[in-house]
Chain A
Amino acid sequence: MRSWLLGLAIGLALADSSIVTLALPEILSQFDVGVATVAWVLTSFNLVLALLAVPAAYVARRRPRRTFVSGAIVFAASSLACGLAPSFEVLVVARSFQAAGAAAVVVAALGLLSETTGNEVRAARYWVAAGVLGAAFGPSAGGVLTETLGWESIFLVQVPLALVPLVALRGLSARPLRAPAERPHLTANTALLLLSGGLVAALFLLVLLLVSGWGMSPAAAGLVVTVMPLAAIAAARLSPRAIGVGMRTASGVILVAGGLASLAFLPRAGWAWTIAPQLLVGAGIGLALAALTERAVAGRAEQVVHGGWTLAARHAGVVLGLLLLAPVLTAALDRNEDEALRAGVAEVLDSRIPAIEKLRLAQDVLEQVDSAEGNGELPDVGAAFEDRPSSEEYRDLLSGLQDQLQRAVTNAFSGPFLLAAALALAALVPVALARGEPL
């Protein structure tokens, strides 16, 4: 039971790296900020977590209980501040404190798990599984909460949940470790950094494509992306123990990169086309992320410090991915918007509606485009047809316009998905180059 509660704390803390993805459009709209600015809700959390994970681990190795309690309280208090934030600046500052709390909770939990499970290797596996599941289920949970209760609920719900695991500490005597720490596992941590950079596309870009690109509701998109964590669980449980860490890593990296490349080649817009790529990415996460983290942490002295290093590597990878992929996506969306506009004008000019209506309708559609551009959203071309006849000609034209828009949006995500696939695949390089530190 104690291990479960500690697992909840780890999963909850790490879910926050991706949980707000589906809430970003609402946050953008409420605080009236730009697309590049709103991304700081994600970036600040991952950056602070990457920076503080190792210092927090050095503190936690000496005082695991106190670090865990302090981290949980800071996490709960800053979650409350996020949910009640009166301005965007307050939200970003609160997210940074939330990340500081998360860093303390996650690394201290690794030390405490060694006590509750009675075995360091088992503790490391438990810690890895809770962290991977938390990060992977984050977008789904965030999507459902955003749609049902609003984006603030994502943070408010976490306040009591962050404090519940403190019950696990009652009667638990954690043993402070004093042994000198081995140097971090460079190969595994570098591979983790690159793989996590690529996974940004699966955890963030995919949900953006589903909601902002294809118009799915956050809750529905949240359900669609549960395929990934489920595939991760299945792959981790079904992979034979006889497979070595190196082979699990290589197979997993290829699955993640292949899944991301598949997302770059979607033949149509529609959530069903994302299922097979998600299965690949999820299976890859279950194999590679778990194998690499275990390799970097399990049985190494001191385990808590190495937990801090892997946490830092993973979240530095997320920041790297966000910094690399966001500008590529923004540029591609701008370029494809121009192409979509041209294709849309061709649809209107070649349609069978009356000639004079073509000009007026084109103006109405362009007004929708301008208005959406101002809000950082995709245009709702259907709104331009609301007061027009529902004849076959208009229906065909609307369907043609929507098709062009979906083609443009889906195509704009292709480049970032391919770049993410390359980043994930690059994780094989440190693995292949490692001589003294074989996996």
Chain B
Amino acid sequence: MRRATPLYAAIAAVAAVVVPYVALGGASYEPTAAADPCVAREWRDPGGVQAVLEQVVLSAVDGAACELGVTREEFVLAMRDEESLDAFAAQHRLSRADAERAVEDALARAIDDAEDGGALSGFAASVLRRAVVALPPWLVLEALESVRGLLP
């Protein structure tokens, strides 16, 4: 047996494990990266009532996140409660009012888009616009649920 044979055998054994592990995705086994909120998302089921409600809110969240330069998920987590919203605003050097205004603007745009696209009736759109002004962002989904029956 050559003197360095054990050393070569050890290197070969290590390579026999590390190389397949990396090839199978070991170097990229991490949480899924967040999607760009500025890229428009497709409607999953544009014909259903549920999809309309969802599209309005998700589109609004995407719009607000895009405007503030953060991910959609980061923005939703900031909307969790007042404490989270304050922390988010401080981290991104925004005032709390800026963050809330971004949500309201984005919701208003999403409602306009839904109305223009025929997904919301004029009356429903009007009720939703009032809800956007009156309610904290994290309660807007509740408002959408309450106007479900008014959808076309």
Contact = CB atoms under 8 A, between A and B. Distances in A.
Contacts of A265: 18, 21-22, 26-27
Interface in A270-293: 273, 276-277, 280, 283-284
B123 to A, nearest CB: 20
A267 B25 contact: yes
Interface string B51-70: 00110011001000000000
B36 interface: no
Contacts of A239: 6
Contacts of B134: none
A247 B14 CA distance: 16
Nearest to A362: B76
Contact of B7 (A247, A258, A355, A404): A247
Interface stretch (A71-79, A135-143, A146-154, A339-347): A339-347
Contact of A267 (B10, B24, B73): B24
B32 A346 contact: yes
Interface in B23-37: 24-27, 29-32, 34-35
Chain B interface size, as a band, is 35 or more
B29 to A, nearest CB: 6
A407 B29 contact: yes
Interface string A185-228: 00000000000000000000000000000000000000000000
A280 B14 CA distance: 7
B147 to A, nearest CB: 12
B31 to A, nearest CB: 4
A339 B14 contact: no
Interface string B126-138: 0000000000001
A357 to B, nearest CB: 10
B92 interface: no
Main secondary structure of the interface of B (DSSP, over half): helix
A295 interface: no
Contacts of A359: 138, 141-142
A410 B29 CA distance: 8
Contacts of B31: 336, 339-340, 342-343, 404, 407-408, 411
B1 A240 contact: yes
Nearest to B54: A355
A255 interface: yes
A356 interface: yes
B13 interface: yes
B70 to A, nearest CB: 10
Interface in A222-267: 239-240, 242-244, 247-248, 250-252, 254-255, 257-259, 261-262, 264-267
11 contacts: A244-B3, A252-B10, A277-B17, A342-B71, A343-B34, A349-B73, A355-B141, A356-B53, A356-B142, A411-B29, A411-B30
Interface of B: 1, 3-4, 6-7, 9-11, 13-15, 17-18, 21-22, 24-27, 29-32, 34-35, 44, 50, 53-54, 57-58, 61, 71-74, 76-77, 80, 138, 141-142, 144-145
Closest A-B pairs by Cβ, 7 of them: A258-B14, A265-B26, A267-B24, A343-B31, A342-B73, A251-B10, A345-B73
